[in-house]
Structure 1
Amino acid sequence: MDNKNITKILKLTAQLMELHEVNTFKIRSYTSAIYSIDQGNISLEKLDKEALQKINGIGKSIAEVIVQLQETGTHEYLEELLKETPKGLLEVLEIKGLGPKKIKTLWKTLHITSVHELLEACQSGEVAKIKGFGKKTQESIIQSLEFMASNQGKWHYADVEEAVETLHDDLVQLFGDDAVSLTGAYSRKNEIIEQVEWLIKSEDPKAVFKKLSSLKPLQQDKKTSSPFTWRGKLGERDLSAVIFVTSPSTFVNEQLLRSASRAHLLAPLEDGTPLGSYFKAGQFESQEAAYKAAGLAYVVPELREGQFEIALAKENKLPVLLEEKDLKGILHNHSTYSDGKHTLKEMADYCQELGYEYLGISDHSRTAMYAGGLDIDKVVEQQAEIKRLNEEMAPFRIFSGIESDILVDGSLDYPDEVLASFDFIVSSIHSGLSMTRKKATARLIKAIENPYTTILGHPTGRLLLRREGYPVDHKAIIDACAENKVVIEINANPWRLDLDWRWVHYAMDKEVMLSINPDAHEKKGYFHMKYGVLTGRKGGLTKAMTLNAMGVQAIGEYFDKRKENIKK
């Protein structure tokens, strides 16, 4: 029961308290504790009641709750609240834009106790009739419900990675490294995983199935399984899993066919034969040999999407893809100056400890009051601290940046003289997300044309599996970045991965550089960099086209040159 799981349960408790209109002071004690745990740097695991009470924001009653969570995984008061709450309302609580108070109104007014009932009430127009709701709210609920339904059974790559890799190691132990192959979307490092797939080489499927039954994380669905295909679920996440058994003679063929997208396999070779048909009919010693026999350079699994890779493979011009070790610094990070968990010095020390040459700090700008955005006095204070730390930590360097809100009219936060004081600026949209494609595109282009914009942050504002991004004309945005020499961020947070990999190659064609940014709000957020690299690789990103693959001196000169050009 780590901090993340503890806060998750405390948040659910607070939501249910609000749903049942519990005393506001009691609710506040929970929200205060949640904030303290989120902002603190103390692991709650193994702490007793007395030690917990010493943490600011955690009183006696919350300390007792946390101890219960550590011992049982739940707590008495939560169980009491759950007994009073229809089970279906827990799913309703997950709907974006619907707080406990509105859910209480729906429950008591229309007797809604499930997502299904809520959708029916919206479709019949009953929700719009309730005071405080209206047609706009009703339509928003319908969109959220449809979005939730379309994402059932889907997972972020990062969320399933540990379980998948652990099981893969177990399979290798059972069958041997050369007899086990990950295939499907996971092998291509797709951002969303609906099903994880393996291929096992064997002449004896029954023996394979018998060995699989010894692996505890796997739960077989015998109804959907067949003599050569094991189907079921993996682990607590209820992730769909499929394990195909194939003979040694067809193992490589199946690897090729099951690790590529349909578009990749349908791509025609020089004689018009679809690549998939060629792979199915031939006899190959390895995947590399198969591509060579087809007259193609070897295509790594993450590129097998049917985008640009076949044309480049025919000419032997596939790029040398970016690797995590190529990155020299970490840009777009937050500290306690705004809504980060760790101080500027803590963020810098850990960045240096990880072997990076520089840190780009870019806390929220003043308009983002909800995230502790920096007023001008705070900007001056932070920049003074950066100067002191740079003297202490040289040759490591902290670059002074800001994540400037792109305002509704497309202008940037702060007057020009304040913008000019930063080394670099990440320009991002955080509010007014309900826009048409035309409005969103125009708003972004105006920000891109602002000479102070260095990097365009998370271009669509999407939150994978939670919120669709605002619609934009990607080509127009990328073209504007090319014209104004603006870098585009690949936000490495697994919830974002924005810019989407499908547009990385187009950006590179237009000579637009990309920056792998973790948008880290705490030290461990740095480890999200790997997911940004995976996203970039899927789009063909190279070291040369990655901004933060530059060394500390080169990127310092890059920032200085941009600022000099503004003065001209």
Structure 2
Amino acid sequence: MNNEQILDTLQQLASLMELHGENDFKVRGYQSAIFNLEKSTAELSSLSAAELEKLPGVGKSIAAAIYELAQSGELASLQKLREATPAGVIDMLNIKGIGPKKIRLIWKELEIETLDDLRTACEQHQIAKLKGFGEKTEENILKALIFTSAQKGKLRYADAEKLWQPLVQALQQQFPEAKISESGLIRRRWEVIDSILLVVGSSQSSSVRAFLNTQPNLSHHAAKSSPYYWRGEEKSRQIPLEVRFCSHEEFASVVMKTTGNGLHLHQIKNETESLFQYLQHTHISNEAAAYAHFGLPFIAPELREGMGETQANEATPALVELADLKGILHNHSTYSDGKHSLEEMASYCKALGYEYLGISDHSKSAFYANGLKEDRIVQQHQEIDALNAKLAPFKILKGIESDILNDGALDYDDKVLASFDFIVASIHSNLKMTEQKATERLLKAIANPYTTMLGHPTGRLLLQREGYPIDHKAVIDACAQHQVVIEINAHPWRLDLDWRWVRYALQQGVMLSINPDAHEKDGYKDMYYGLLAGRKGGLHKAMTFNALSLTEVEAYLKKKKEGKLIAAQ
């Protein structure tokens, strides 16, 4: 087991211990150990029990639990608690806003053991009557249950990729003659998907079907299948899977027909037919040829939503590529809640070929994330200066992720804010705001002359937490007025700014920055998912802030601090 799997298992154990009324001191011991180990770079599965005991916050019993997990992949104490807990009660532990102790009251006092029964109890106002709950808590539980129900059967794109890519590789290895492509929502790079569609062009479709039926992670739905489609489900994530069969000659046409949505396929037309109708009777050699038939340049798969992309012409700028990105902004180190040191984060960023790293640890109000007080800012800046001399021409830019306080103010006084090269302003607290309150809070932060960039504008966590409601147009217009860059947070759980607002931001002249919000070196890999989100919204190199060279970024930041940037017209 890797570290993430071990810590997830320990968190389950701690939650179930608390649910079953275990000693609070023991539960806090596990929670403290998990918090410390999240920052550890040690490979837990490779350590002996004695070595584990030497890690911060890890006592003898926790070390024994980790060792047992690493050796067997299981934990007897956890299994015992699972067996003593109804499955629906375990599901309740995933509800935002209520912890194990409150779930225990719901379970024991009202004998509620399923999410459906919990929802009914909320709708009948039984939960509000429990000690320590009240109407507001009941309302929040009901909202969370409705949200969770709506997300059932869906996957984040990054998780879906881990399912379909290995299957494509296995099929390609088994059937070298086959042409294989992802299609539908996954080829259009939606941030959340509810099904996986693959297209297979092969003369051996019956053999491919037989191969799919032998895969242990797939279940076949024979009644839903047809001569053209194998339909089933990926077992581990219970996500529908479709495989569309066709000949080699039909392959490009079928991929194109199944990629774009209906609007895209029918909006493109000439005097006699639409793109869809054309593909019905024409075996194209490639997709570019089909667009050329209608007098259009190639339109990238992720854009095929019928949202204006059909107006493309030869002057339309090419979408941004990963190779265009020169630096990585919005990253955390061990100065706050990161896993790797400042030097480790910088050296790895340099090794990846980037010109600069923007370090932006949490500000002082984020005490839960070890946010930086003023004296530690001075310490970090001194280390940055030393590292910049060592790593030149690579450069670390001095930044901070400054909390936007309840009234819209930033987290430090002007003198401290002026000591940074750039400021990422983000909301992390009081997320249950009205649209008016959230928007006003953001507008004040955007108007602050020290704000360089707006971080994860809605605070959403895909499939886990809705973002707070904001007036996107007002926020984007304010960023245009004050020359504030908007972040596309590349973490696959966020992808915030939502791609649906990228086009409007570009129209208003707002630059966007693809930021990984990396808390460890591997977090840089998330740049890929942010890139997909940006491309889906039509982002091109000229409007991508971190596609600027180091020299260009430094010049931009200098002008911003001096108030010399000209507002977008």
Relative to the length of structure 1, the TM-score reads: 0.96
3-state SS of paired residue (2:338): coil
Aligned AA (2:465): R
User: Residue 537 of structure 1: CA displacement?
Assistant: 0.8
| CA distance in 1 between partners of 2:501 and 2:173 (Å) | 39
User: Residue 212 of structure 1: CA displacement?
Assistant: 2.6
Aligned to 2:175: 175
Aligned to 1:201: 201
User: Residue 249 of structure 1: CA displacement?
Assistant: 4.7
Aligned AA (1:26): K
User: Residue 435 of structure 1: CA displacement?
Assistant: 1.6
Find 1:321's aligned residue among 305, 319, 323: 319
Contact 1:278–1:294 (Cα < 8 Å) also in 2 = no
3-state SS of paired residue (2:186): helix
| CA distance in 1 between partners of 2:198 and 2:409 (Å) | 50
Aligned length: 566
Aligned AA (2:394): F
Aligned AA (1:524): D
Contact 2:400–2:423 (Cα < 8 Å) also in 1 = yes
3-state SS of paired residue (1:255): helix
Aligned to 1:418: 416
User: Are residue 220 (structure 1) and residue 239 (structure 2) matched?
Assistant: no
User: Are residue 126 (structure 1) and residue 133 (structure 2) matched?
Assistant: no
| CA distance in 1 between partners of 2:189 and 2:346 (Å) | 30
Contact 1:504–1:541 (Cα < 8 Å) also in 2 = yes
3-state SS of paired residue (2:436): helix
Aligned to 1:55: 55
3-state SS of paired residue (1:39): coil
| CA distance in 2 between partners of 1:177 and 1:328 (Å) | 39
Contact 1:205–1:227 (Cα < 8 Å) also in 2 = no
User: Residue 213 of structure 1: CA displacement?
Assistant: 2.9
Aligned AA (1:479): D
User: Residue 273 of structure 1: CA displacement?
Assistant: 4.4
Aligned to 2:531: 533
Aligned to 2:404: 406
Find 2:395's aligned residue among 391, 394, 397: 397
Find 1:464's aligned residue among 462, 465, 475: 462
What is the RMSD of the two structures over their aligned residues, measured on CA atoms?
A: 1.9
Aligned to 2:12: 12
Which runs of no fewer than 5 residues in structure 1 stay unpaired? none
Contact 2:184–2:197 (Cα < 8 Å) also in 1 = yes
Aligned AA (1:503): W
User: Residue 397 of structure 1: CA displacement?
Assistant: 0.8
Aligned to 2:448: 450
**CA offsets 1:127-173 (integer angstroms, 9 cap, x no match):** 11112111111111111001101111111111222332111111222
Q: What aligned pairs does 1:272-421 form with structure 2 within 5 A after superposition?
A: 273-312=273-312, 315-421=313-419
Q: What aligned pairs does 1:421-440 form with structure 2 within 5 A after superposition?
A: 421-440=419-438
Aligned to 2:138: 138
| CA distance in 2 between partners of 1:108 and 1:213 (Å) | 44
Aligned AA (1:453): T
| CA distance in 1 between partners of 2:358 and 2:258 (Å) | 41
User: Residue 180 of structure 1: CA displacement?
Assistant: 1.5
Greater displacement, 347-356 / 203-212: 203-212
| CA distance in 1 between partners of 2:109 and 2:216 (Å) | 46
User: Residue 268 of structure 1: CA displacement?
Assistant: 4.4
| CA distance in 2 between partners of 1:478 and 1:413 (Å) | 22
What percentage of residue pairs aligned between the two structures are identical? 50
User: Residue 270 of structure 1: CA displacement?
Assistant: 4.4
User: Are residue 503 (structure 1) and residue 505 (structure 2) matched?
Assistant: no
Q: What aligned pairs does 1:32-43 form with structure 2 within 5 A after superposition?
A: 32-43=32-43
Aligned to 2:91: 91
3-state SS of paired residue (1:64): helix
- Shift in alpha-carbon separation, 1:537–1:272, aligned structure 2, 3 A: farther
**CA offsets 1:340-381 (integer angstroms, 9 cap, x no match):** 112212211111121211111111111112211111112122
Which runs of no fewer than 5 residues in structure 2 stay unpaired? none
Aligned to 2:542: 544
- Shift in alpha-carbon separation, 1:545–1:268, aligned structure 2, 3 A: same
Relative to the length of structure 2, the TM-score reads: 0.96
Greater displacement, 371-380 / 424-433: 371-380
3-state SS of paired residue (1:352): helix
- Shift in alpha-carbon separation, 1:256–1:36, aligned structure 2, 3 A: same
Contact 2:427–2:459 (Cα < 8 Å) also in 1 = yes
3-state SS of paired residue (2:401): strand
| CA distance in 2 between partners of 1:346 and 1:361 (Å) | 12
Contact 1:163–1:235 (Cα < 8 Å) also in 2 = no
Contact 1:206–1:227 (Cα < 8 Å) also in 2 = no
**CA offsets 1:413-447 (integer angstroms, 9 cap, x no match):** 11111111110000111112112222212211111
3-state SS of paired residue (2:543): coil
User: Residue 323 of structure 1: CA displacement?
Assistant: 1.0
Aligned AA (1:187): R
User: Residue 177 of structure 1: CA displacement?
Assistant: 6.2
Aligned AA (1:504): V
